[in-house]
Amino acid sequence: MKSIGHILCLAAALGLHAGPVRGYDEITVADGGALQGTVTLVGDVPKPKGYNLVTLPDPVYCGRISTGTGWRLLQPFVIGPDGGFKNVVIYVEDIAQGKAFSYAPPRIEAVDCTFEPYITIVRDGYNVEVVNMDPVLHDIQGYETSKYGARVLFNVPLPIRPHLRKKDFLTGAPPHKRAGKTLTQRVAMGKKRNLFVMQCGFHAYMESWGFVVNNPYYALTDAHGAYAITDLPPGTWRVQVWHPMVSKEYTVTITPGETTTLPIAINAPTGRLYANEVSEGTRFGMELLGEHAIEPVVERQTY
According to DSSP, the β-strands at 138-146 and 195-200 are: antiparallel
SS3 readout for 169-220: HCCCCCCCCCCCCCEEEEECCCCCCCEEEEEECCCCCCEEEEEEECCCCEEE
Residue 144 lies in a domain: yes
pLDDT, tens digit, for every residue of 104-147?
999 999 999 999 999 999 999 999 999 999 999 999 998 887 77
Q: How buried is 120 (Cβ within 10 angstroms: 0-12 exposed, 13-18 middle, 19+ buried)?
A: buried
The whole-model pTM stands at 0.86
The backbone torsions φ and ψ at residue 250, rounded to the nearest 5 degrees and listed phi first, read: -135, 160
Q: 10 Å Cβ neighbour count for 282?
A: 12
Q: Burial code of 125-141, b = ≥16 C-beta within 10 A, e = fewer?
A: eeebebbbbbbbbbebb
Q: How confident is the model at residue 9 (pLDDT cuts 50, 70, 90)?
A: very low
**CA dist., res. 190 & res. 197, Å (int):** 14
3 state DSSP class of 285: coil
Has residue 227 got a pLDDT over 90?
A: yes
Residue 219 lies in a domain: yes
pLDDT value at residue 225: 98
Q: How confident is the model at residue 181 (pLDDT cuts 50, 70, 90)?
A: confident
Residue 251 lies in a domain: yes
- Give the amino acid at 116: E
Residue scoring higher pLDDT (73 or 183): 73
pLDDT value at residue 27: 96
SS3 readout for 37-56: EEEEEECCCCCCEEEEHHHC
Length of the chain: 303
Has residue 8 got a pLDDT over 60?
A: no
Has residue 5 got a pLDDT over 80?
A: no
**CA dist., res. 72 & res. 121, Å (int):** 26
Domain that holds residue 126: 2-297
Q: How confident is the model at residue 10 (pLDDT cuts 50, 70, 90)?
A: very low
Residue 203 lies in a domain: yes
Residue 218 lies in a domain: yes
Domain count of the fold of the chain: 1
Residue 246 lies in a domain: yes
Q: What separation in angstroms does the CA of 163 have from each of 136, 168, 203?
A: 11, 11, 22
Residue 186 lies in a domain: yes
pLDDT value at residue 186: 85
Residue 302 lies in a domain: no
pLDDT, tens digit, for every residue of 287-296?
656 566 788 9
